[in-house]
């Protein structure tokens, strides 16, 4: 039996709602550079999903670079990237070639935990960039599919990453906007702590439309194939820092999902204290660093602003400090952001269908954050 490769790297290019041209270019670039990536210690699996205007469905093309050799093209018809079973099927295909560690990157739209037509921080209603998930729930919009009017919910994304009978996913890369959130990282925690991914990569702001520099990232990994998940994440961050900031700068972060368990516990313990200081928390929220048009706040900054107003949150701040492995601001413009956000809507959103879906997230209950937000809106 041949020795296992060090890494299986899975690249899902979800182009059924993203710009299909940019998505196809990103996927093709990896394939055309297969000679550079040819390394017996890493395998690369590529799935490109594009809508078909004729059939009204979406199809996937797959290629693999295994043991230094670029394999043939295979086609999978009728592919709904908004369905968790599709992501599980992709994982099953890759698992037939075993490796010591697995990384999965998903390139496409992302919206964090809010995917409805909601006010832009009190302003105009935003245009939906992805369809709602068929079954309802807190959609990440990641892997969204216009052909099937579907999108992955955050629990679906997490379930696919933790699916039974498949190799552990060591690193998760969410190459879409607003995906570096406390709630999303928390959802990746498995009942068996040993199955929780060591690292989640994503942006708490808008991400680059053309995708991450995968060829450069994989070339670096091929040169250091025994890299741990954390070392692999640093390669991603390092290559991201080199990107051209035009037309606007961006930010990607590496988080430890397991560290969010302590954050949720501290936030739950703080709930009675925070309920005694509604006005101070409101000031901190309103003055905070909003991460996007959606109601997301840089959570480290929020805790600092609450602390500055005399509320004792030192234990929470200590837990938050252990979540981030590192950040990669392009051109240093967003260097004052800390890497991940938390959902904190304006009062008018509380009680809406968006808030109802938020309660389906594991973090909402564990941190008592959903209940706090509802109570907060009454004051």
The pLDDT, as a whole number, for residue 282 is 93
Whole-number mean pLDDT of the chain?
86
Contact 89/119 with Cβ under 8 angstroms? no
Q: Higher model confidence: residue 308 or residue 336? A: 308
Cis peptide before 113 (omega within 30 of 0): no
The pLDDT, as a whole number, for residue 136 is 57
The pLDDT, as a whole number, for residue 248 is 62
Contact 166/99 with Cβ under 8 angstroms? no
Structure-block tokens of residue 106: 């998903």
Residue 331 pLDDT grade (very low, low, confident, very high; cuts 50, 70, 90): low
Domain ranges of the chain: 5-258, 260-377
DSSP string, 226-237: T--HHHHHHHHH
d(CA 122, CA 99): 49
Burial label, 80 (beta-carbon count in 10 A; 0-12, 13-18, 19+): buried
pLDDT (tens digit per residue) in 137-173:
566 677 778 888 788 888 889 999 999 899 999 999 9
Q: What is the pTM of this model?
A: 0.92
The DSSP H or E segment spanning 343 is: strand 341-343
pLDDT (tens digit per residue) in 187-238:
999 999 999 999 999 999 888 878 899 999 999 999 999 999 999 999 999 9
| Mean pLDDT of all residues in 315-339 | 87
């Amino acid at each position: 039996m041949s020795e296992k490769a060090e890494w299986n790297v899975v690249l899902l290019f979800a182009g059924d709602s993203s710009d299909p041209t940019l998505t196809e270019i990103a996927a093709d670039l990896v394939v055309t550079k297969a000679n550079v990536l040819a390394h017996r210690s890493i395998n690369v699996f590529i799935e490109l999903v594009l809508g078909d205007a004729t059939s009204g469905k979406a199809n996937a093309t797959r290629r693999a670079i295994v043991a230094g050799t670029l394999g043939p093209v295979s086609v999978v018809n009728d592919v709904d990237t908004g369905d968790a079973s599709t992501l599980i099927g992709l994982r099953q295909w890759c698992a037939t070639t075993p490796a010591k560690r697995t990384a999965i990157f998903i390139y496409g739209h992302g919206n964090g935990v809010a995917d409805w037509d909601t006010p832009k921080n009190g302003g105009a209603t935003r245009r939906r960039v992805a369809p709602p998930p068929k079954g309802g729930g807190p959609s990440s919009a990641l892997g969204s599919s216009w052909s099937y009017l579907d999108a992955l919910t955050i629990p679906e994304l997490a379930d696919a990453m933790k699916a039974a009978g498949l190799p552990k996913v060591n690193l998760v890369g969410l190459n879409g906007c607003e995906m570096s959130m406390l709630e999303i990282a928390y959802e990746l925690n498995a009942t068996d702590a040993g199955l929780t991914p060591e690292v989640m990569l994503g942006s708490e702001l808008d991400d680059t439309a053309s995708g991450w520099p995968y060829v450069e990232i994989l070339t670096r990994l091929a040169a250091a194939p025994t890299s741990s998940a954390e070392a692999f994440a640093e390669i991603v961050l390092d290559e991201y820092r080199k990107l051209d900031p035009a037309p606007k700068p961006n930010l990607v972060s590496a988080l430890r999902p397991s560290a969010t368990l302590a954050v949720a516990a501290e936030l739950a313990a703080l709930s009675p204290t925070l309920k005694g200081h509604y006005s101070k928390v409101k000031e901190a929220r309103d003055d905070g660093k909003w991460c996007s048009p959606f109601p997301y706040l840089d959570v480290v900054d929020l805790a600092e602003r609450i602390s500055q107003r005399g509320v004792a949150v030192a234990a929470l701040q200590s837990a938050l400090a252990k979540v981030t492995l590192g950040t990669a601001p392009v051109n240093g413009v967003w260097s004052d952001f800390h890497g991940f956000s938390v959902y904190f809507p304006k009062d008018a959103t509380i009680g809406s269908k968006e808030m109802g879906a938020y309660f389906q997230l594991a973090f909402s209950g564990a941190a008592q954050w959903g209940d706090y937000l509802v109570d907060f809106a009454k004051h």
